[in-house]
Amino acid sequence: MIDTSCDLLSSFAIILDIFIPIGEILEMSLEQTFNKAAEEVKKLSSASNDDKLELYGYFKQAKEGDCSTEKPGGLFNQKEKAKWQAWNSKKGTSKEEAQKKYIEKVDQLCGTQFRQSVS
Protein backbone atom coordinates (compact mmCIF):
# COMPACT_ATOMS: atom_id res chain seq x y z
CA MET A 1 0.00 0.00 0.00
CA ILE A 2 1.31 3.46 -0.93
CA ASP A 3 1.30 6.22 1.68
CA THR A 4 -0.47 9.14 0.03
CA SER A 5 -0.93 11.29 3.15
CA CYS A 6 2.08 13.46 2.26
CA ASP A 7 0.82 13.89 -1.28
CA LEU A 8 -2.60 14.84 0.02
CA LEU A 9 -1.12 17.37 2.45
CA SER A 10 1.08 18.83 -0.29
CA SER A 11 -1.92 19.18 -2.59
CA PHE A 12 -3.93 20.80 0.19
CA ALA A 13 -1.09 23.28 0.86
CA ILE A 14 -0.96 24.18 -2.83
CA ILE A 15 -4.71 24.72 -2.89
CA LEU A 16 -4.50 26.95 0.18
CA ASP A 17 -1.67 28.90 -1.44
CA ILE A 18 -3.91 29.57 -4.43
CA PHE A 19 -7.05 30.51 -2.51
CA ILE A 20 -5.69 32.63 0.32
CA PRO A 21 -4.63 35.54 -1.93
CA ILE A 22 -8.05 35.46 -3.57
CA GLY A 23 -9.68 35.68 -0.15
CA GLU A 24 -7.43 38.56 0.78
CA ILE A 25 -8.49 40.39 -2.36
CA LEU A 26 -12.15 39.79 -1.64
CA GLU A 27 -11.76 40.99 1.93
CA MET A 28 -9.40 43.91 1.50
CA SER A 29 -9.04 46.20 4.45
CA LEU A 30 -10.62 49.61 4.29
CA GLU A 31 -7.16 51.16 3.90
CA GLN A 32 -6.27 48.86 1.01
CA THR A 33 -9.57 49.50 -0.72
CA PHE A 34 -9.16 53.25 -0.25
CA ASN A 35 -5.71 53.09 -1.84
CA LYS A 36 -7.01 51.02 -4.77
CA ALA A 37 -9.83 53.53 -5.28
CA ALA A 38 -7.30 56.38 -5.21
CA GLU A 39 -5.37 54.66 -7.99
CA GLU A 40 -8.52 53.98 -10.01
CA VAL A 41 -9.73 57.57 -9.87
CA LYS A 42 -6.53 58.67 -11.61
CA LYS A 43 -7.91 56.98 -14.74
CA LEU A 44 -11.04 59.14 -14.66
CA SER A 45 -11.03 61.29 -17.76
CA SER A 46 -13.84 63.65 -16.91
CA ALA A 47 -15.50 64.78 -13.74
CA SER A 48 -17.15 68.01 -12.69
CA ASN A 49 -15.27 70.45 -10.49
CA ASP A 50 -17.76 69.73 -7.71
CA ASP A 51 -17.01 66.00 -7.93
CA LYS A 52 -13.26 66.63 -7.94
CA LEU A 53 -13.57 68.90 -4.92
CA GLU A 54 -15.67 66.35 -3.05
CA LEU A 55 -13.06 63.67 -3.76
CA TYR A 56 -10.30 66.04 -2.67
CA GLY A 57 -12.05 66.87 0.59
CA TYR A 58 -12.62 63.24 1.54
CA PHE A 59 -9.10 62.26 0.47
CA LYS A 60 -7.47 64.97 2.59
CA GLN A 61 -9.73 64.20 5.56
CA ALA A 62 -8.87 60.50 5.30
CA LYS A 63 -5.14 61.14 5.01
CA GLU A 64 -4.61 64.13 7.32
CA GLY A 65 -7.71 64.53 9.47
CA ASP A 66 -9.35 67.89 10.15
CA CYS A 67 -8.08 70.85 8.16
CA SER A 68 -5.55 72.70 10.27
CA THR A 69 -4.44 75.35 7.79
CA GLU A 70 -5.81 78.84 7.50
CA LYS A 71 -8.11 79.69 4.64
CA PRO A 72 -6.06 80.98 1.73
CA GLY A 73 -6.45 84.66 1.04
CA GLY A 74 -6.05 86.74 -2.06
CA LEU A 75 -8.26 87.60 -4.96
CA PHE A 76 -6.44 85.34 -7.41
CA ASN A 77 -6.34 82.28 -5.20
CA GLN A 78 -9.81 80.89 -5.95
CA LYS A 79 -8.65 77.34 -6.71
CA GLU A 80 -6.84 77.01 -3.38
CA LYS A 81 -9.81 78.54 -1.55
CA ALA A 82 -12.16 75.99 -3.14
CA LYS A 83 -9.86 73.12 -2.18
CA TRP A 84 -9.55 74.44 1.38
CA GLN A 85 -13.34 74.75 1.64
CA ALA A 86 -13.84 71.21 0.30
CA TRP A 87 -11.49 69.81 2.92
CA ASN A 88 -12.68 72.03 5.77
CA SER A 89 -16.29 71.02 5.06
CA LYS A 90 -15.38 67.46 6.10
CA LYS A 91 -14.19 68.59 9.55
CA GLY A 92 -15.23 66.12 12.24
CA THR A 93 -15.52 63.21 9.82
CA SER A 94 -13.54 60.20 11.04
CA LYS A 95 -10.76 58.74 8.92
CA GLU A 96 -12.78 55.58 8.32
CA GLU A 97 -15.93 57.46 7.34
CA ALA A 98 -13.95 59.73 4.99
CA GLN A 99 -12.38 56.66 3.37
CA LYS A 100 -15.81 55.05 2.91
CA LYS A 101 -17.30 58.22 1.42
CA TYR A 102 -14.31 58.57 -0.91
CA ILE A 103 -14.72 54.96 -2.05
CA GLU A 104 -18.45 55.47 -2.65
CA LYS A 105 -17.73 58.58 -4.75
CA VAL A 106 -15.10 56.74 -6.79
CA ASP A 107 -17.56 53.90 -7.38
CA GLN A 108 -20.18 56.41 -8.51
CA LEU A 109 -17.85 58.23 -10.90
CA CYS A 110 -15.82 55.31 -12.22
CA GLY A 111 -18.42 52.56 -12.23
CA THR A 112 -16.29 50.44 -9.90
CA GLN A 113 -17.53 48.34 -7.00
CA PHE A 114 -14.87 48.90 -4.35
CA ARG A 115 -17.55 49.52 -1.70
CA GLN A 116 -18.52 45.86 -1.84
CA SER A 117 -15.09 44.76 -0.64
CA VAL A 118 -15.34 46.63 2.69
CA SER A 119 -17.84 46.15 5.46
Establish if 5 belongs to a structural domain: no
33, 36, 41, 100, 103 from 117: Cα distances, Å: 7, 11, 17, 11, 10
Domains: count for the chain: 1
pLDDT bin (cut points 50, 70, 90) of residue 102 is very high
For residue 86, what pLDDT band results from cuts at 50, 70 and 90?
A: very high
| pLDDT score recorded for residue 5 | 46
- 98: domain CATH number? 1.20.80.10
As to burial, measured by CB atoms within 10 angstroms (0-12 exposed, 13-18 middle, 19+ buried), residue 44 is middle
Q: Does 53 map to a domain? A: yes
Provide the domain limits for residue 103: 28-117
